[in-house]
Chain A
Amino acid sequence: MNGETLTILPALPELILAVGAMALLMLGVFRGDKSYRQVANLSILLLVFCAVVMINQVGGEREVIFGDMFVTDAFAVFAKTLVYIGSAVAILIAGKFLSEHNIAKFEYPILILFATLGMLIMISANNLMSLYVGLELQSLSLYVLAAMNRDRLRSTEAGLKYFVLGALSSGMLLYGISLIYGFSGSTDFDVLATSLRGEGGAPIGVVIGLVFLLAGLAFKVSAVPFHMWTPDVYEGSPTPVTAFFAAAPKVAAMALLVRAMINGFPALIAEWQQVIVFISIASMLVGSFVALVQTNIKRLMAYSSIGHIGYALVGLAAGTQDGIEALLVYLAIYLTMTLGAFAAILSMRRNDGMVEDIDDLAGLSTTNLPMAVAIAIFMFSLAGIPLLAGFFGKWFIFLAAVEAGLVPLAIIGFLASVVACYYYLRIVKVMFFDESAGAFEGGHGQAVSAVVGVAAVLNSPVSFLLIWPLVGAAAWAAGSLLF
């Protein structure tokens, strides 16, 4: 380090985001809660600006800075773009909901900005220590966001549950990291990768540490068997916050998991592959079967997201460049489906506030056909019906798994998605063929309608046009990881 000039250009978007978030915090503090709209709009602008700076200034060249702590490459650019989109949409769709529930505080966009910063650090982590601080920055913001509606019991319960279990998972993660450090002498991914490749294999302590590390990260992506918190937290948190939870942090944690495994422990692929295969199968099965009995649509989406993480993990389990490419495509499609579905849930309003039961959707096709069609598109896409975007995601994932010789995994995944079809199609059936439960009142705001519309178009057969550029970008991103 001594004598070198400190290069900070690759971290420029993160620095802008950090300084901008603090400036907006000041703005909010001095102007009080009435500044919510202004802070929220400026936050969205800030996110867009950072994304533009990242794409224009940083680019896909692999650069490692801050003493090998922070890495930018094409993979980071791809994943960070998804995170920026997820965070900006989460702020965009929240305004109406928050002001109606008297929680339109300027801290909401600020906390989302800090959570986003944490996710960017996670995605760019090239060291177990920067992995941990990024994860904590993100998690801490998310705990607060979950409990944002502090006068409502479910919301505080969600926040507390998330916090306690999150702290436990951080503990496991740190224990694993300390074992890895103790037995390998380094926390740097590049050093770990080269020194563990040596003669005689890795010390047993590193393998045990790796299992703990995986357990901690599986909690963060809510993969089975570390998924227990997900349904309760998703149900209890304010809906825009749930939309945020289901989108951006999942992408960031998956990207982190991929980078840690592919860059940090390529020599231990046999060890981590079996763990990933197990949690992938378990997530797909639990996500499919337990969702069958849900009546609350937010809980249903929670199990759905658990299942989708299982499918995405199939790509990592393949451990090949094709697998990572499929995983990135899957995450991008999952992001559009999830954000669209949650925006649609935000439009489920009756005179006594928000309704969240699947039965409340009954007969939506007679009262609000465009919304019913949009929700049907999301459900078909989530189920992976051909012609829609979700199908491409699953197709690439299973293709990669088969090419990597994981045929049983692909078959289990396929069967699980057939089971999952049932509950997605049940929603479509309720909307189109059941007796109407009364119209939803409008007034959810133009932003929510716009998000529903754009996401529906992206998931509709229009996706045929978009899928190939997306695959190209994912291939470019996956190629930048060191295989």
Chain B
Amino acid sequence: MMELSLIDMVFYLFSAVTVASGMLVISARNPVHSVLWLILAFFSAAGLFVLMGAEFLAMLLVVVYVGAVAVLFLFVVMMLDINFTELRQGMLQHLPLGGLVGFILLGELVALAVAWNFGADVAKNAASPAPIDTATTNTEALGQLLYTDYIFIFQTAGLILLVAMIGAIVLTLRDRPGVRRQNISVQVQRKPGEAYDLVDVDTGKGVSLPGKKG
């Protein structure tokens, strides 16, 4: 008889909820419900992170994924008129092929696990998955990794994003002629004298207005 501690029970609770809601994400008929199940999956995964002692990652998962990404999904699903039932129509038809690919992948993973033998020299390279030193907090350990150990890679990644931004602008920005943009400084600097003209109109002759500045 296996003894279940409280932590074990919480772990199984969170894992079961994660897996179940993951299944429901792909099986729910209504795409809005799918996104809601996805949010539940994120929350449960965050709970698993807390159990592992990675509370900072748990908070990030909730803030970034639930707060931003899932809400974005929700907007996309609700705003775009995509017929998801139509997209899912071929699912049963492709199930055998998909299942086959899945089984091959599983077989490869098993083969990988069997071949997983390290030499003595190699085994000592493996890093520990979490900071062992309990004095450093999660946030501090992550900061240490990102901004000290991997500062070079972090900065280069920033440059890559900058290039992506430049590229997007170069390839898509077009100057459209004839667009009337609001120019606030011109508007503010306008004086009452420029705004109107008083014209004496002679009867029966009409009037020609002088051209106005935009």
User: Which residues from chain A sit less than 8 Å from chain B, CB to CB?
Assistant: 1-2, 6, 11, 18, 22, 25, 66-67, 69-70, 105, 107, 110-111, 114, 117, 121, 129-130, 133-134, 136-137, 140-141, 143-144, 147-148, 150, 159, 183-186, 191, 194-205
Chain B stretch 142-188: residues in CB contact (< 8 A) with chain A: 148-153, 156-157, 159-160, 162-164, 166-167, 169-171
- Assess A143 versus B152: contact at CB under 8 Å? Given A185-B126, A195-B122: no
User: Interface size on B (CB < 8 Å)?
Assistant: 32
Which of B77-85, B110-118, B191-199, B200-208 forms part of the interface with chain A? Answer: B110-118
The verdict on B123 contacting chain A, using a C-beta distance below 8 Å, is yes
The verdict on B125 contacting chain A, using a C-beta distance below 8 Å, is yes
Q: How long is the Cα–Cα vector from A117 to B124 in the complex, in angstroms?
A: 34
- The answer to whether A185 touches B127 (Cβ under 8 A) is yes
- The answer to whether B126 touches A133 (Cβ under 8 A) is no
The interface residues of chain B lying within 8 Å CB-to-CB of A150 are: 170-171
A selection of 13 A-B contacts at a CB cut-off of 8 Å is A1-B148, A1-B149, A111-B167, A111-B170, A117-B159, A134-B156, A137-B156, A150-B171, A183-B118, A185-B118, A196-B121, A199-B119, A203-B115
CB of A207, distance to nearest CB on chain B (Å): 11
Q: How long is the Cα–Cα vector from A186 to B125 in the complex, in angstroms?
A: 6
- Main secondary structure, interface of B, reads helix
- The answer to whether B160 touches A133 (Cβ under 8 A) is yes
- The answer to whether A105 touches B122 (Cβ under 8 A) is no
The interface residues of chain B lying within 8 Å CB-to-CB of A143 are: 167
**Apart from A114-B163, A133-B156, what are 9 other A-B pairs with CB-CB below 8 Å?**
A2-B148, A18-B159, A67-B152, A70-B152, A114-B166, A133-B157, A137-B159, A196-B122, A205-B112
Q: How long is the Cα–Cα vector from A195 to B126 in the complex, in angstroms?
A: 11
The interface residues of chain A lying within 8 Å CB-to-CB of B127 are: 185
- The answer to whether B151 touches A144 (Cβ under 8 A) is no
Which listed residue, B118, B123, B153, touches A133 by the CB 8 Å rule? B153
The verdict on B132 contacting chain A, using a C-beta distance below 8 Å, is no
- The answer to whether B150 touches A67 (Cβ under 8 A) is yes
- The answer to whether B153 touches A69 (Cβ under 8 A) is yes
The interface residues of chain A lying within 8 Å CB-to-CB of B159 are: 18, 114, 117, 137
Q: How long is the Cα–Cα vector from A459 to B139 in the complex, in angstroms?
A: 58
The verdict on B120 contacting chain A, using a C-beta distance below 8 Å, is yes
The interface residues of chain B lying within 8 Å CB-to-CB of A195 are: 119, 121-122, 124-125
- The answer to whether A184 touches B125 (Cβ under 8 A) is yes
Q: Give the one of B116, B152, B160 with max A CB within 10 A.
A: B152
The interface residues of chain B lying within 8 Å CB-to-CB of A144 are: 163, 166-167, 170-171
- The answer to whether A130 touches B116 (Cβ under 8 A) is no
Q: Which residue of B lies closest to A33 (CB)?
A: B175
The interface residues of chain B lying within 8 Å CB-to-CB of A194 are: 121
CB of B166, distance to nearest CB on chain A (Å): 6
- Main secondary structure, interface of A, reads helix
Q: How long is the Cα–Cα vector from A22 to B126 in the complex, in angstroms?
A: 38
Q: How long is the Cα–Cα vector from A134 to B122 in the complex, in angstroms?
A: 26
- The answer to whether B115 touches A204 (Cβ under 8 A) is yes
Q: Which residue of B lies closest to A187 (CB)?
A: B125
- The answer to whether A105 touches B170 (Cβ under 8 A) is yes
- The answer to whether A121 touches B166 (Cβ under 8 A) is no
CB of B161, distance to nearest CB on chain A (Å): 9
- The answer to whether B153 touches A197 (Cβ under 8 A) is no
CB of B39, distance to nearest CB on chain A (Å): 29
- Assess A183 versus B122: contact at CB under 8 Å? Given A67-B152, A130-B153: yes
Which listed residue, A114, A129, A141, touches B153 by the CB 8 Å rule? A129
Q: How long is the Cα–Cα vector from A134 to B120 in the complex, in angstroms?
A: 32
- The answer to whether B119 touches A203 (Cβ under 8 A) is yes
- The answer to whether A111 touches B163 (Cβ under 8 A) is yes
The interface residues of chain A lying within 8 Å CB-to-CB of B115 are: 203-205
- The answer to whether A110 touches B166 (Cβ under 8 A) is yes
- Assess A121 versus B125: contact at CB under 8 Å? Given A1-B148, A144-B171, A198-B120: no
CB of B142, distance to nearest CB on chain A (Å): 14
Q: Which residue of A lies closest to B169 (CB)?
A: A107
Q: How long is the Cα–Cα vector from A259 to B135 in the complex, in angstroms?
A: 39
The interface residues of chain B lying within 8 Å CB-to-CB of A25 are: 166
CB of A67, distance to nearest CB on chain B (Å): 5
CB of A114, distance to nearest CB on chain B (Å): 5
CB of A35, distance to nearest CB on chain B (Å): 15
Q: How long is the Cα–Cα vector from A197 to B119 in the complex, in angstroms?
A: 10
CB of A295, distance to nearest CB on chain B (Å): 30
CB of A340, distance to nearest CB on chain B (Å): 28
Which listed residue, A11, A67, A105, A201, touches B149 by the CB 8 Å rule? A67
CB of B4, distance to nearest CB on chain A (Å): 32
The 4 residue pairs across chains A and B that have the minimum distance between CB atoms: A185-B125, A198-B121, A144-B167, A66-B152
CB of B153, distance to nearest CB on chain A (Å): 5
Q: How long is the Cα–Cα vector from A107 to B171 in the complex, in angstroms?
A: 10
Q: How long is the Cα–Cα vector from A141 to B125 in the complex, in angstroms?
A: 35
- Assess A140 versus B125: contact at CB under 8 Å? Given A66-B151, A105-B170, A185-B118: no
The interface residues of chain A lying within 8 Å CB-to-CB of B119 are: 195, 198-203
Q: How long is the Cα–Cα vector from A203 to B160 in the complex, in angstroms?
A: 33
Q: Which residue of B lies closest to A121 (CB)?
A: B156
